[in-house]
Amino acid sequence: MPARMTITTAAPRVSHTRLRLIEFLRISEHRIYAVLITQSNMVYHKLIEVPEDLPQDFINSVSRYLNEQFARKPLEEVRRQRISRVLEFCAGNRVRAAQILGIGRTSLYRYFKREARLKAKQQKQD
């Protein structure tokens, strides 16, 4: 009988990781391949379905904008800014904001609950 082995890896928490680069590549009419590279050389990728055909030039401009705005910032800060901007766009409507962000309403509510706990903890320390 072979011996069992356990392998453990260590990686920085994603929330503390800083963004190096984000790129998008048009795969087909309604699909974009997104690649995110962090300062610690971690690579994340995802296939994104889009409702309309987007030209590669437009996709490149989005990539340039995101890199200018968020390069070298912690991913948690990027997330916070993104949620804040979408929520502002939706005039505070959390259900609509979750739809635009492409996440479940419950996930967004969990995010706000976690943020409130962190804020309360920071205020206690001050």
Indicate the pTM of the whole model.
Answer: 0.65
What are the pLDDT digits (tens) for 61-98?
999 998 998 889 988 888 888 899 999 999 999 999 98
Tens-place pLDDT, residues 17-56: 898 999 999 999 889 999 999 998 889 999 988 888 889 9
Q: Please, what are the domains in the chain?
A: 17-73 (3.30.390.60)
> Alpha-carbon distance 98 to 72, whole Å?
26
Cα distances from 82 to residues 69, 70, 96, in angstroms, run: 11, 10, 14
Task: Say whether pLDDT at 2 is over 70.
Answer: no
Statement: residue 122 has pLDDT above 90 = no
**Residue pair 32/26 in contact by the 8 Å Cβ criterion:** yes
